[in-house]
Each structure stands twice: as C-alpha cells, then as structure tokens.
C-alpha cells in the first residue's frame, strides 16, 4: 500500500487471526493473519498443488482474495472455495463463496465492487493432493526444460529464485526490494487495439506481447509498454525510481516521500497514455 505524507486520520487494525484447519477433500481453512509464503511452503511440502507458483509473495493470507493475487501462471481464485468476512455495512459475519467474491484479474468484490465493506478473517482453499505443478509460465518452462517429474517444492523454490533475481523478494539490504511490488496492472484491451499499439511502438503487430483475457480481449504487459515509452529499468532521478531489475517496481532509493513516488507514477502514466492511448492502473492501495 501507499500512505500519503499527511498520514491517515483513522483506526488501523492488523488482522492477526491465525490457524490452519484441515477438512475433508483437501480443504484448508486458514486464518487471515497467517503469513502467505509460510502457508505456501507448508502446502507444497505436503504435496498439495495449486499455490506453488505464488511462493515468495509477501503479506498475509487474508490479503490474497482481496486482489486475487496471482503470479507465474496462477491466481488464488483457482483454489479459493470461500471467504469468511465481517460485513461492515450489515454489521454481521458472512461466508462468501467463490462466485460471490467476483474474482477477475487483480480485482474482486473486496477491492473493486464493494471496497472497504468487508474485513476478511479466514479463507478456505481446496488444493489438489499430488497434483501436477503449474508450468505454464515461460520462465518456469525455461527453468525445467527437458525435465520430467518436477515437484511442487522445486517449482516453489524456482519461483522464489526468479523473484529474487528481479528484486521482488524481501531480502535484507537489497535496495531493489524497497518497493510495493508490481506498481501497474497489465492493461486489458480489445484485440483490434493490438495493431495500433504495434504502430505506436514501431513494431510488427505480431511482435506485441499479449495473451488472451477472455471474450476477444487481450492482456498486454505493462512492463513492455513502459519500456517502449522510455521508462526502463533504473529510470528516474532522485529518491524514487524504477527498480534496476524490474520495470514495474517503483523503489524508494532512500528518503522518498509519497509525493516523490506519486510524481514518478504520474510521469509514467502520462508518458504511456501519450504514446499508446492506454491509461495504466495502479496496483498498490492508496491510504489517506
């Protein structure tokens, strides 16, 4: 999250509901305060497939359904059965099934449709015992090319190593880790827009990286758009800049204020919009 320099005039609660309860059918009922990567480590060690590609993501279990956390070819929506939350509008506890959570790319009931209404306290996952690991992502395919019998633990370890190489793993003393993760969402555009994007980038239409996002729509990597617009790794002067290892991470180089980050954010959004006509959306939540 990003907190304005003026702070937040309100009450902040840290949800610390703990515990992992095992149910029938490979169902796990997990407290929102559990460390996410610890849960992933435990599940992969038990041979439970479904979250192995989400290793190394910082934060707690309760945060994962809010943004429908995803990485390296997986999203938590694929394994979440239901979410227990407190409804601040009706002042009652509710159990929301997957459909009610309205999951889509980086969005859900919790952060888009009814932001601020629900306080997540537990999440129920259904995983797959002895399931095959997810190797859809190109980086993982390259890592295990020609290999058979790749284990869930090997995939989780590889994901953490890849994240570390990109400055996207919390490592003490690593300046590229001082970020809020990927700062911009990958925009989703109509298939007809790819030709215009290619022209703006001076590239062949087939050379614009993209992948299906349903109903004739395509997801275009925000990192590619930034780079084509001149916002490359290491870009920026002053306390806030783009990571030297990951185009989408805006880092605090030391002493950065919210205003410094916002200034860089606005510059990037303006540059990408002027070049491609695409409005980038910020991923981190703004507080204050």
Considering 60, 108, 179, 182, which one is annotated as catalytic?
182
Question: Alpha-carbon distance 264 to 256, whole Å?
Answer: 11
The three-state secondary structure class of 123 is strand
To which residue do tokens 């290999």 refer? 147
Tokens of 166: 């990109």
At 8, give phi and psi (nearest 5°).
Answer: -130, 115
182 is catalytic: yes
Considering 34, 41, 52, 283, which one is annotated as catalytic?
283
Considering 106, 122, 124, 163, which one is annotated as catalytic?
106
Question: Alpha-carbon distance 225 to 281, whole Å?
Answer: 13
106 is catalytic: yes
215 is catalytic: no
Question: Alpha-carbon distance 167 to 243, whole Å?
Answer: 8
Question: Alpha-carbon distance 86 to 101, whole Å?
Answer: 14
Tokens of 273: 């919009």
Kindly list the catalytic residues: 106, 182, 283
């Amino acid at each position: 999250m990003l907190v304005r320099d003026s702070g937040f005039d309100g009450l902040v609660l840290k949800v610390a509901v703990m515990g992992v309860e095992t149910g029938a059918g490979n169902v796990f009922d997990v407290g929102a305060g559990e460390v996410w990567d610890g849960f992933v480590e435990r599940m992969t060690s038990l041979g439970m497939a479904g979250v192995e590609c989400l290793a190394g993501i910082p934060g707690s279990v309760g945060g994962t359904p809010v943004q429908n956390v995803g990485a390296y070819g997986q999203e938590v929506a694929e394994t979440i059965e239901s979410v227990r939350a407190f409804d601040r509008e009706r002042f009652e506890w509710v159990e929301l099934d997957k459909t009610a959570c309205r999951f889509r790319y980086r969005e859900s009931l919790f952060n888009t449709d009814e932001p601020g209404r629900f306080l997540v306290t537990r999440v129920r996952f259904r995983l797959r015992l002895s399931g095959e690991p997810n190797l859809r992502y190109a980086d993982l395919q390259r890592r295990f090319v020609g290999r058979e019998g790749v284990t869930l633990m090997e995939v989780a370890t590889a994901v953490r190593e890849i994240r570390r190489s990109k400055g996207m793993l919390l490592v003490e003393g690593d300046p590229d880790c001082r970020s809020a993760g990927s700062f911009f969402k990958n925009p989703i555009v109509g298939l007809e827009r790819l030709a215009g994007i290619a022209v703006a980038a001076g590239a062949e239409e087939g050379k614009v990286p993209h992948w299906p996002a349903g109903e004739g729509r395509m997801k275009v990597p925000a990192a590619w758009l930034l780079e084509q617009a001149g916002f490359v790794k290491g870009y920026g002067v002053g306390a806030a800049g783009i990571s030297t290892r990951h185009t989408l991470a805006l880092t605090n180089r030391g002493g950065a204020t919210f205003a410094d980050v916002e200034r860089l954010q606005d510059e990037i959004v303006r540059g990408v919009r002027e070049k491609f006509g695409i409005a980038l959306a910020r991923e981190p939540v703004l507080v204050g």
